[in-house]
Structure 1
Amino acid sequence: MWERGRPPRKQRPAPLILPASALVSPPPPRFVFPRSLFALAARAMPSRRPSPVILLLLALAFALLFLLLSPSAPSASRLSHSFVSTSPSSSASSPPSPVKIYLYDLPSKFTYGVVRSYMSARGPSGSPDAAAVLADEELRYPGHQHSAEWWLFKDLRRRGPRDRPVARVDDPAEADLFYVPFFSSLSLVVNPIRPPAAANASDAAATVGPSYSDEAMQDELVEWLERQSYWRRHRGRDHVFICQDPNALYRVVDRISNAVLLVSDFGRLRGDQASLVKDVILPYSHRINPFKGDVNVDSRPALLFFMGNRYRKEGGKVRDTLFQVLENEGDVIIKHGAQSRVSRRMATQGMHSSKFCLHPAGDTPSACRLFDALVSLCVPVIVSDHIELPFEDVIDYSNISIFVDTSKAVQPGFLTSMLRRVSSERILEYQREIQRVSAPSFLVHAAICILVHLMLYVLSVNRNQFCTYI
């Protein structure tokens, strides 16, 4: 990870080379979404779905951690031999034992209760509280870029087929990992910035409900966990949390830093709280509608598109400079805009009709804009020196995006001149590669590669130290 004020990261290492058998299937016309979080299926899901990268990454996280925490972790030599002999046929004939996950039965205020509080805080004044009368299974998670916490919770609650790589167990004594399903990112934004207006002062006084405190919820969650014997057993090292929002669980992160954290980046975490050794980079859920057409350049007249907040803190200060450099370029669309339904519609149209999509740093190094661009077949142009990306050990991001150093990107004329020199055929290659890495066959074999690579690294560098913790 990179801490604030440190120099940019070193040059990215070359990704692992996947077996040729992983690449034989033709790419799908667009991103394919799994019905289950851990298994691909043909049936469609409701309209709000996480991207396939999110779904596979979570499965990888749990499988990897099971291997790390297992007292009988395989040796590096045996892992290497298994990797060499892996093929689709051999994998299908001898599936690995599932990772056993214990899903904590938290008090409902930490799960469905967060959704109810969110809905109640936005309900029209003076009307009955719809969230209060809905059953748990009828509640819908709000559209949110950090919705992986919802999809993982729902998937673990569903009893899936026996051949899934993750098996939920009812007896915690059988568990390899313990999942804590607190909706930490949604809890952070339960209280709206602009509360619903009441008709008059008396109505406002009558409709004010119990206040919601995310800080109090965090404290109560950790206090509850600290009373659990399985948390105390290894001081939380075999527990898993999702805290995708950069500020999620900020109040208690020091108390849960032993646990595995599924995060979007490390922008607001110190080195003693999180690292790439124990934690997992989790992609954002895309917020705009995926592009439904095939690869094409002619239908994308704009050279470069960006829409978002112009003024950001930390590394995001570069945005204002980029606006000044790009706003007068004729074939560049760059707009200031906050999150809203209208903005999402405009962003969808802009990304679907542009060859390249700008991804500058914000308050933190990453944002859901990158994944919006990928589902739009709009080649990302990443201007974020400290960014960490999911699947970097498997996916060569230089084949699906363009990285530009901040110092060069802010030079007048540099970005546009560079992008105009990219040929139409090269843009089509980027688009085809984006499609290819979303193919189910690629993702399955990518899982094998990243697991083996990370296991070899951890076993050779950190295994002795790691095992002393547990």
Structure 2
Amino acid sequence: MERSAAHGGKRSLPRLLFLAALSATPWLLIVYLHLSVLNGAPASSPQPSLVDAVASDGGKDAQRFLLEQEERLRKLPPSRDATTAAAAAAEDVCEGRYVYIHDLPSRFNVDILRNCREWYRWINMCVYLSNGGLGEPVDNADGAFADEGWYATDHFGLDLIFHSRMKQYECLTDDSSRAAAVFVPFYAGFDVVQHLWGSNASVKDAASLELVNWLTGRPEWRTMGGRDHFVLSGRTAWDHQRQTDSDSEWGNKLLRLPAVQNMTVLFVEKTPWTEHDFAVPYPTYFHPAKDAEIFQWQQRMRGMKREWLFTFAGGTRPGDPNSIRHHLVRQCGASSLCKLIQCRKGERKCLIPSTFMRVFQGTRFCLQPTGDTYTRRSAFDAILAGCVPVFFHPASAYTQYKWHLPDEHETYSVFIAEEDIRSGNVSIEETLRRIPPHVAEKMTETVINLIPRLVYADPRSKLETVKDAVDLTVDAVIDRVKKLRKEMHGVAAS
């Protein structure tokens, strides 16, 4: 019995192995397919087949089954390898971000620059157009700046700087059909300034009207009726808001032209009641060519010893009954914790950037009242120096630079209402002294972290990891155009 059982067991062993192999086959196939996908290898890779693994068992049904499975596997499309995937990703990096720049006739930009000596009666502006619009390098003899990246930039000189930077944008295209947005390099700010004094209304408006006629006749315009176009003026929107055709009224009527109202229009200060214009930061003196220049400057501002609690740099407005500047001068002058830089007409010290930049670097809070308009370039100079701005009107920053400044205004600034200053109900010193030191230090750190977002990089180079004011602006414009495009498609579908 034992022999017979042993003998029978030997005969049944091959059958058991065959059945085990057959039952394991589906699981082996699953593992095989899983490993093929993970390794990125084609399913039909010339490895030893599963057929060979069980052929010695003589199972014809099993061989037929496995042959059918391998045949099906060969018909599957091969998976992309890492190289193909990387190439595809590289091709798509600009998808949805392409910008097309109109090749405007020279009369809309380059020819305007040739007249730079005549823009103002009291100063030759040509010197400010060098180095891609940055101006000449500043004198750093007193160490208020860094040795590289600092220029005597005009606060209304953004037309050329922005255009120069756009030429370096990483996702430019010559095919407007691929463009997410279309840039119009019209030097609107430089155009209006050359006609602000002494020109009649028709002369002031001439270039703007010619531009509209040129743009609306282009095929690129017809795609979205200009809603994918954006244009910039380095001046405030008030210079382009003339309401009548009176020769004596200030500015031109660029912003009031229907075609321009279809575009996204950029200014250093927007109007409070319109929705198609947006504010971008005033250009400062700092134009880094490398990421390291930004990081080094930020670190330097973190290490500054801020001896003054607050500072006011500026002049009074004796002819403006609404101005609060004389109140600020009085309060600052009466406080031992305030550094006053009072600028009177024609005073040379306030024309030298280092005069106030050095003081800002040693101050915790910088007072930023309204000037001729709601906004001031000084607010950005202060942030650049790590000085927390104190605003007195919402339109000085909060309703303006929504693309570049945080929505949480209290994290980077202090607000004191103009009415409270006029009435004499508020002491600026006491208000600022009530801010706990650790909170003030945190606000300073927030301000220093904002610096990259507010500077315009040197247009002759390219930052690697940091987005500057132009990068953020273009991103925001593209997002706006995408929303407008969806709205247009929605209306068309309905």
Q: Which residue of 1 aligns with 2:459?
A: none
- Shift in Å at residue 240 of structure 1? 0.5
Alpha carbons of 1:230 and 1:248: their partners in 2 closer, same or farther (altered >3 Å)?
Answer: farther
Q: Which residue of 1 aligns with 2:220?
A: 230
- TM-score of the superposition, structure 1-length normalised? 0.59
- Shift in Å at residue 358 of structure 1? 0.6
Alpha carbons of 1:151 and 1:320: their partners in 2 closer, same or farther (altered >3 Å)?
Answer: same
Is residue 2:317 matched to residue 1:319? no
Q: Which residue of 2 aligns with 1:144?
A: 154
Using the aligned pairs only, state the percent identity. 18
Note if contact 1:305-1:356 (Cα within 8 Å) is conserved in structure 2.
yes
Report the Cα distance in structure 1 between the residues aligned to 2:301 and 2:126, rounded to whole angstroms. 42
- Shift in Å at residue 292 of structure 1? 7.1
Q: Unpaired runs of 5+ in structure 1?
A: 1-90, 195-211
Q: 2:167 aligns with which of 142, 147, 157?
A: 157
- Shift in Å at residue 373 of structure 1? 0.7
Q: Which residue of 2 aligns with 1:404?
A: 416
Note if contact 1:313-1:363 (Cα within 8 Å) is conserved in structure 2.
no
Is residue 2:189 matched to residue 1:179? no
Alpha carbons of 1:323 and 1:291: their partners in 2 closer, same or farther (altered >3 Å)?
Answer: farther
Report the Cα distance in structure 2 between the residues aligned to 1:148 and 1:374, rounded to whole angstroms. 19
- Shift in Å at residue 238 of structure 1? 1.7
Considering Cα pairs closer than 8 Å and 6+ residues apart, tell me whether 1 or 2 has the greater RCO.
1
Give the letter for the 1:253 counterpart. Answer: L
Q: Which residue of 2 aligns with 1:266?
A: 270
Q: Unpaired runs of 5+ in structure 2?
A: 1-88, 136-152, 242-252, 288-296, 454-464
- Shift in Å at residue 372 of structure 1? 0.6
- Shift in Å at residue 260 of structure 1? 0.7
**Which structure: greater helix fraction?**
2
Which of the pair has more CA radius of gyration?
2
Q: Which residue of 2 aligns with 1:370?
A: 379
Alpha carbons of 1:357 and 1:316: their partners in 2 closer, same or farther (altered >3 Å)?
Answer: farther
Give the letter for the 1:346 counterpart. Answer: T
- Shift in Å at residue 221 of structure 1? 2.3
Q: Deviations over 1:326-345 (max 9, x none)?
A: 44333321523469763433
Note if contact 1:355-1:378 (Cα within 8 Å) is conserved in structure 2.
yes
Q: 2:351 aligns with which of 342, 350, 355?
A: 342
Q: Which 10-residue stretch deviates more, 282-291 or 99-108?
A: 282-291
Note if contact 1:307-1:337 (Cα within 8 Å) is conserved in structure 2.
no
Report the Cα distance in structure 2 between the residues aligned to 1:365 and 1:425, rounded to whole angstroms. 30
- 1:257 match: secondary structure: helix
Give the letter for the 2:491 counterpart. Answer: T
Give the letter for the 2:104 counterpart. Answer: L
Q: Which residue of 2 aligns with 1:218?
A: 208
Q: Which residue of 2 aligns with 1:295?
A: 302
Report the Cα distance in structure 1 between the residues aligned to 2:254 and 2:298, rounded to whole angstroms. 40
- Shift in Å at residue 371 of structure 1? 0.8
Report the Cα distance in structure 2 between the residues aligned to 1:240 and 1:433, rounded to whole angstroms. 30
- 1:372 match: secondary structure: helix
Q: Which residue of 2 aligns with 1:252?
A: 254
- Shift in Å at residue 349 of structure 1? 2.5
Report the Cα distance in structure 1 between the residues aligned to 2:122 and 2:372, rounded to whole angstroms. 32
Is residue 2:475 matched to residue 1:468? no
Give the letter for the 2:402 counterpart. Answer: P
Alpha carbons of 1:218 and 1:279: their partners in 2 closer, same or farther (altered >3 Å)?
Answer: closer
Note if contact 2:360-2:387 (Cα within 8 Å) is conserved in structure 1.
yes
Q: Which residue of 1 aligns with 2:438?
A: 425
- 2:114 match: secondary structure: helix
Q: Which residue of 1 aligns with 2:336?
A: 330
Alpha carbons of 1:294 and 1:321: their partners in 2 closer, same or farther (altered >3 Å)?
Answer: closer
Q: Deviations over 1:366-393 (max 9, x none)?
A: 2211111110011111111334233378
Give the letter for the 2:324 counterpart. Answer: V
Give the letter for the 1:335 counterpart. Answer: Q
Give the letter for the 2:160 counterpart. Answer: W
Report the Cα distance in structure 2 between the residues aligned to 1:179 and 1:265, rounded to whole angstroms. 19
Report the Cα distance in structure 2 between the residues aligned to 1:383 and 1:358, rounded to whole angstroms. 8
- 2:323 match: secondary structure: helix
Report the Cα distance in structure 1 between the residues aligned to 2:166 and 2:351, rounded to whole angstroms. 34
Note if contact 1:218-1:249 (Cα within 8 Å) is conserved in structure 2.
no
Count matched residues. Answer: 338
Report the Cα distance in structure 1 between the residues aligned to 2:313 and 2:224, rounded to whole angstroms. 45
Report the Cα distance in structure 1 between the residues aligned to 2:157 and 2:92, rounded to whole angstroms. 33
Structure 1 segment 72-151 matched on structure 2, within 5 A: 95=93, 97-119=95-117, 140=133, 142=135, 143-151=153-161
Report the Cα distance in structure 2 between the residues aligned to 1:404 and 1:283, rounded to whole angstroms. 22
Q: Which residue of 1 aligns with 2:3?
A: none
Q: Which 10-residue stretch deviates more, 373-382 or 422-431?
A: 422-431
Give the letter for the 1:238 counterpart. Answer: D
Note if contact 1:370-1:380 (Cα within 8 Å) is conserved in structure 2.
yes
Report the Cα distance in structure 1 between the residues aligned to 2:491 and 2:320, rounded to whole angstroms. 37
Report the Cα distance in structure 1 between the residues aligned to 2:318 and 2:112, rounded to whole angstroms. 28
Is residue 2:377 matched to residue 1:391? no
Q: Deviations over 1:88-137 (max 9, x none)?
A: xxx99984625222211112232222222114657999x9x999xxxx99
Give the letter for the 1:185 counterpart. Answer: G
Report the Cα distance in structure 1 between the residues aligned to 2:91 and 2:223, rounded to whole angstroms. 37
Give the letter for the 1:177 counterpart. Answer: A
Give the letter for the 1:293 counterpart. Answer: R
Give the letter for the 2:392 counterpart. Answer: V
Alpha carbons of 1:442 and 1:234: their partners in 2 closer, same or farther (altered >3 Å)?
Answer: closer
Alpha carbons of 1:308 and 1:183: their partners in 2 closer, same or farther (altered >3 Å)?
Answer: farther
Give the letter for the 2:191 counterpart. Answer: S
Q: Which residue of 1 aligns with 2:448?
A: 435
Q: 1:305 aligns with which of 298, 305, 311?
A: 311
